[in-house]
Structure 1
Amino acid sequence: MSVRDIIKQRRTIRKFKQDSIDDSILKDLVDCARLAPCASNKQPLEFVVVKDKKVCAKIFENTGWAGYISPKWTPNEGERPTAYIAILVNKVRATKWIGHDVGAAFENIVLAAWELGIGSCIIGSIKKENVAKILNVPDEYEVDTIIALGYKGHESYAENNDETVKYYMDEEGNFHVPKRPLEKVIHFDRF
């Protein structure tokens, strides 16, 4: 599968099979994140890989899921992620471009995971102080983003739609995600 194919096929996954992900795969995903571009080559990011079921459960309790689904929805116990990668920011090394650094790193993780048949959900709705305590994060670091990982337990479809950004779950438990059509977002030479 080409990089372009992965980019166009990859969707957020919010329900997971309960098969564990091998340590070597998780290590490789972090290696892909480590090699992402970063501002001034400051390399301010570090990563905590979580696989232990008890720790995963604590992380899950401190994250928000699928904000557009009503009534409030989270994956059931047998559908939750089997691993997480927490992206930490070294506050001393961080530049004003830290958001770009984090975005490049998590994009590498989710694309590399998809190539291996692993689904992911980029989670920004985090009780960061609680997660920092759970993961024993030193004071000079801050929890920025968490990537939930697991083998996918549903399908997710991108659909051209310029009228809404609200994704939804169908009767079979699959997600449908509106994406603005290319013609609405591309401009050549001038706006």
Structure 2
Amino acid sequence: MLKDLILQNRSYRRFEQDKAVSKETLSELVDLARLSPSARNAQPLKYILSYKPETNNIIFPHLGWAGYLKDWKGPEEGEQPAAYIIMLNDTSISSNFFSDNGIAAQSIMLGAVEKGLGGCIIGNVEREKLQRKLDIPSEYKILQILAIGVPKEEVVIKDLDKSYQYWRDIKGKHHVPKRSLDDLIIDL
């Protein structure tokens, strides 16, 4: 059921790094994005699949992991993602990707959950540095990076009380406050 996939689709930031994610699996996830709607049907998004440790090691230091967890610099060795999908805008097709990146990312992440994986959509990226490090041609612009792997942490949804900021308890369980449905719907 779709709601079950959405409930399982959390922003996981710690992974079973030794459990590989294959190029074929990443390709299947990108195929879900390919089949998703695209504004004006322009389809300007392209993807780099990273599933080899040496490439993952180049990507990892260019990512910001959890803005609200001020003392946490990201997952330690052994808890880093087994794979990444770098989402690019091909500016030779269109300089405006509208909301395609959000649609594509959600399709990929729901597909990952269906395969027993999890991930995190990372927008805090040192884009120019990483573009140079990976020698990505200039017509491609990094939009976001999807970290993919087998989750190594528990993420739970909580009712929003005073703050919408996520947090970790003493046992490392990640808590994500959500507004109530009544708070979201405005009756006219």
TM-score, normalising length: structure 1: 0.93
Distance 1:118 1:101 in 2: 22
Distance 1:99 1:174 in 2: 35
What SS is found at the alignment partner of 1:11? coil
What SS is found at the alignment partner of 2:78? helix
What SS is found at the alignment partner of 1:32? helix
Shift of 1:141: 1.1
Runs of 4 or more, structure 1, over 4 Å off, are none
Shift of 1:49: 0.3
Distance 1:174 1:8 in 2: 16
Tell me the amino acid that sits aligned with residue 84 of structure 2.
Y
TM-score, normalising length: structure 2: 0.94
What SS is found at the alignment partner of 2:172? coil
- Contact 2:39–2:98 at 8 Å: present in 1 too? no
Distance 1:73 1:143 in 2: 22
Shift of 1:99: 4.1
2:125 corresponds in structure 1 to: 126
Q: 1:43-82 CA deviation, whole Å, 9 max, x = no partner?
A: 0000000012121111110000111013233111110001
The runs of 5 or more residues in structure 1 that have no matched partner are none
- Contact 1:30–1:47 at 8 Å: present in 2 too? yes
Matches within 5 A, 1:105-184: 105-184=104-183
The runs of 5 or more residues in structure 2 that have no matched partner are none
Q: 1:113-152 CA deviation, whole Å, 9 max, x = no partner?
A: 0111101000000000122123321111101000001101
Shift of 1:159: 1.0
- Contact 2:12–2:155 at 8 Å: present in 1 too? yes
2:103 corresponds in structure 1 to: 104
Q: Is residue 20 from structure 1 mapped to residue 25 from structure 2 by the alignment?
A: no
Shift of 1:9: 2.6
Tell me the amino acid that sits aligned with residue 175 of structure 1.
H
Distance 2:8 2:183 in 1: 20
Distance 2:77 2:6 in 1: 29
What SS is found at the alignment partner of 1:43? coil
Tell me the amino acid that sits aligned with residue 68 of structure 1.
Y
1:82 corresponds in structure 2 to: 82
Tell me the amino acid that sits aligned with residue 140 of structure 2.
Y
Distance 2:12 2:86 in 1: 17
Shift of 1:174: 1.7
- Contact 2:122–2:144 at 8 Å: present in 1 too? yes
Q: 1:84-138 CA deviation, whole Å, 9 max, x = no partner?
A: 0000001132354x24100000000101001111010000000001221233211
What SS is found at the alignment partner of 1:142? strand
2:50 corresponds in structure 1 to: 50
1:61 corresponds in structure 2 to: 61
Over aligned residues, Cα RMSD in angstroms? Answer: 1.3
Distance 1:40 1:99 in 2: 9
Tell me the amino acid that sits aligned with residue 23 of structure 1.
K
Q: 1:11-61 CA deviation, whole Å, 9 max, x = no partner?
A: 110000020012221110010111121111000000000012121111110
2:38 corresponds in structure 1 to: 38
- Contact 2:33–2:104 at 8 Å: present in 1 too? yes
Aligned residues: 187
